[in-house]
Structure 1
Amino acid sequence: MYHVSIQKPIILTGDRTTGPLHLGHYVGSLKNRVRMQDTHRQFLLLADMQALTDHAHDPEKVRRNVFEIALDYLAIGIDPEKSTICVQSGLPALAELTMLYLNFVTVARLERNPTIKDEIRMRGFGRDIPAGFLCYPVAQAADITAFKATVVPVGEDQAPLIEQTNEIVRRINTQIGRSVLVEAEAVIPRVGRLPGIDGKAKMSKSQGNAILLSAGPQDIRQAVRQMYTDPNHLRASDPGTIEGNVVFTYLDAFDEDEAAIAALKAQYRRGGLGDMAVKQRLEAVLQELLAPIRERRAAYARDLDYVRDVLREGTRTARDVTDATLQDVRAGLRLFQLDQGRRVHQPPELTP
């Protein structure tokens, strides 16, 4: 009887290192990452180079948050034995692939990318767009293709980036004359973006409307009490509106007792249920969810040598994978090479 080796599909995901993670990240992607590390070969990229595209004025913030996000990953259950956590700036093949791919993309195409257009408008760049920011889709294409990822979890607003990645894949493969790179599928989570506690925008630390995964009990309590509900629900006896009510949005996302939540919604709609009672239930749910995450995070923070080793080893593994892809592309494009052997790069020095 022959043993058949079944290769797991490759998934690439990660975060820009601009700040610690919050509940929006958890419900949107982190839960799925923990689950998918058992079914996929998963790479988690700490995208510090991409973070510089709009944080070049504060590189210390970008560097510091490499460790902050790594702590969040470990605290929510990412297992370094199952998932490879790596640092983008420690993978020089990504930069070289980006330079190669830029020759197959026009500025007009980059400016038409809906994701980039929205981000430029949101940040108020006007025509003063950092070149690195405009080229973000190409850098992301380099990330995805370097790992030969076939699955990339993204929000719905990020799907155009995967479409552009696949355009680049097809152009490179056409130029080479065979399939060296693989196309990726955008996987959009069932739960969309989690609104901020103010109900006015997506959850974001920079907007002051987020609940961090590391939030303490008092921070959670205060955030829940500030949450936007129904401005017309002045008394408990008044009928209330569920749609747009942030407290119920969060209960739908985090409370696993669907029958109980349905009963609460019915009571709120007909009147007889106060906002404070609903908020107290949500607070209890969030306290229970975040307490063990916070405790594990604190434990890892006391052993940064371990975290550093995880990042160093993960980056070393990722470097082997991404260097191999770069060599395949260079050979396929018949680029001049002085050294036909594999290049050896030292891992970056990681300091908290």
Structure 2
Amino acid sequence: MYSERVLSGMRPTGSLHLGHYHGALKNWVKLQSEHECFFFVADWHALTTSYDDPSIIAKSTWDMVIDWLAAGVDPSQATLFIQSRVPEHAELHLLLSMITPLSWLERVPTYKDQIEKLSHKDLGTYGFLGYPLMQSADILIYRAMFVPVGEDQIPHIEITREIARRYNHIYGREPGFEEKAEAAVKKMGSKKARLYDELRTRYLQDGDEEALESARALLADTQNLSIGDRERLFGYLENKGKVILVEPQALLTEASRMPGLDGQKMSKSYGNGIFLREDPAAVTKKVRGMPTDPARVRRTDPGSPDKCPVWQLHQVYTDRDTHDWVQSGCRSAGIGCLECKQPVIDGILAEQQPMFERAQQYLDDPTLVKSIVADGCERARAIAQETMRDVREAMGLGYA
């Protein structure tokens, strides 16, 4: 049922690091067992800032998908696909651009932020200005209810909700809407129809938000309604028109606690990352070479874990007993920095081991990955085409 769908995507940046795992992929693995999940490679989005060097996109895409699979994303539970293989994304983006005020795009916080951060690039393009609208099309075309995001991405969900609301307001008032909605209520069966009417009345007369949520849940559980009737009844609940595009909700994810090797946020651009499938010897070398508390010049000098990037990694990879050992040993100079780093190394290697094992079959036979993505693209496109039929019809482009 589309009301329970989750959608998320990533730009193809190649091999992923542990910050991606703790910030997104770990959550994807959890969500796939709870919801109908769609995870996509945002390759068109990659062109908004890297249009001058598209040569890396294809290889980066396959490397990234293998990392998703290595992290535990399961193609039997989630749909994995590539954005550009579902051209309906572009069609919806175009049609939504007809009704989206320019000022809505210019006020998106990340627009000005990225313009400043990437001042060395020529980003005075329509594609860059319009990428939040493309993001909205990515979500709305699957009628996804939930989008897992960090706090910094909430404005993108808000603009998506506004665009869906504006679209439904302009195009959702079909002729005879009330009569069609009332006929749809009767199809629910007398008991459910009576409950729907009671909940709708409580919401419209008293503003009872719990009644609204209960009515939505009732619609989601009613199996004998067509998609069109279900959309009418979602709109009828609030005295709106037919809900053609669903307003998504932000599924707020915990900020990643994964620091980089220098204590800053782990990022490719900082060169401070450890990759999901990095060679164990390279991981060991990187962690052993991490900077520590500057006060510990000699082995016998006491230090403070709070001033050491290694301590941040302990908070991710080791248990409370080890934390106590570090706090006591560092402050008393009872342990050396290399001793302190070893449990972190052990924790990272233990986390990576199953990733290597899951990835191996795809490295041995790359056609497996392409087959998974091809199947995912086919499933995603079938849903996208269904949405676009409704969108075109509402905008007078059905030509039936």
Which TM-score band (shorter chain)? 0.7 to 0.9
- 1:64–1:321 CA distance, 2 compared to 1 (3 A): same
Alignment of 1:209-224 (within 5 A): 209-224=272-287
Residue of structure 1 equivalent to 2:397:
336
Which whole-Å deviations, capped at 9, do the CAs of 1:258-280 have from their partners, x for residues lacking one? 34324423543565343222211
| Residues 242/10 of structure 1: CA separation in 2 closer, same or farther (3 Å cut) | farther
Tell me whether 1:37 sits opposite 2:32 in the alignment: yes
Shift of the 217–11 alpha-carbon distance from structure 1 to 2, 3 Å rule, reads: same
Name whichever of 191-200 and 14-23 sits farther off.
191-200
Distance 1:127 1:292, change over 3 A: closer
Count of aligned positions: 331
Query: What is the identity, as a one-letter code, of the residue corresponding to 1:248?
Result: W
1:282 paired with 2:282, answer no
Post-superposition shift, 1:36? 1.3
- Can you give the 5+ residue segments of structure 2 that lack an aligned partner in the other structure? 173-240
- Scaled by the length of structure 1, the TM-score of the pair is 0.86
Matching of residue 132 in structure 1 with residue 196 in structure 2: no
Match of residue 376, structure 2, among 314, 333, 345:
314
The equivalent of 1:111 in structure 2 is 106
Question: Residue by residue, what CA displacement relative to the aligned partner does 1:202-233 show, whole Å, maximum 9, x if unpaired?
Answer: 32224321111110012211221233432234
Deviation at 1:234, TM superposition (A): 3.0
Q: Per-residue displacement from partner, 1:296-316 (whole Å, max 9, x unpaired)?
A: 323311111111110100000
- State whether residues 47 and 54 of structure 2, in contact with CA within 8 Å, keep that contact through their aligned partners in structure 1: yes
Task: Please list, as runs of the form range in 1=range in 2, the aligned pairs for 1:8-27 lying within 5 A after superposition.
Answer: 9-27=4-22
The structure-2 alpha-carbon separation of the partners of 1:236 and 1:108, relative to structure 1 and needing over 3 Å to count, comes to: farther
The letter for the 2-side match of 1:293 is M
Mapped to 2, the partners of 1:237 and 1:190 lie a distance apart of 38
Is 1:180 matched up with 2:241? Answer: no
Contact 1:229-1:275 at 8 Å conserved across structures:
yes
User: Which position in structure 2 is the counterpart of 1:147?
Assistant: 142
Residues 8 and 336 of structure 1: CA distance in aligned 2, closer, same or farther (over 3 Å): closer
Q: Structure 2: which amino acid aligns with 1:16?
A: R
Conservation of the 8 A alpha-carbon contact between 2:263 and 2:312? no
Q: Does 1:324 align with 2:382?
A: no
Which of the pair has more CA radius of gyration? Answer: 2
Q: Letter of the 1:212 partner, please give it.
A: F
Return the structure number with greater helix share. Answer: 2
CA–CA distance in 1 between the matches of 2:327 and 2:116?
37
- Equivalent in 303, 306, 319 of residue 240 of structure 1: 303
Deviation readout 1:23-46 (Å, 9 max, x if unpaired): 001001111111111111000101
Instruction: Specify the SS of the correspondent of 2:258.
Output: coil
Tell me, in whole angstroms, the C-alpha distance in 2 between the residues paired with 1:55 and 1:290.
Answer: 30
8 Å CA contact 1:8–1:39 kept in 2: the answer is: no
Residue 97 of structure 1: how far off its partner (Å)? 0.9
How far, CA to CA, are the matches of 1:216 and 1:241 in structure 2?
Answer: 30
What amino acid maps onto 2:160 in structure 1?
A: T
Contact 2:3–2:143, Cα closer than 8 Å, also in 1: no
Cα distance in 2 between the residues matched to 1:250 and 1:186: 29
CA RMSD in angstroms, aligned pairs only: 2.2
Partner of 2:116: 121
SS in 1 for 2:256: coil
Partner of 1:296: 358
Code of the aligned partner of 1:37: Q
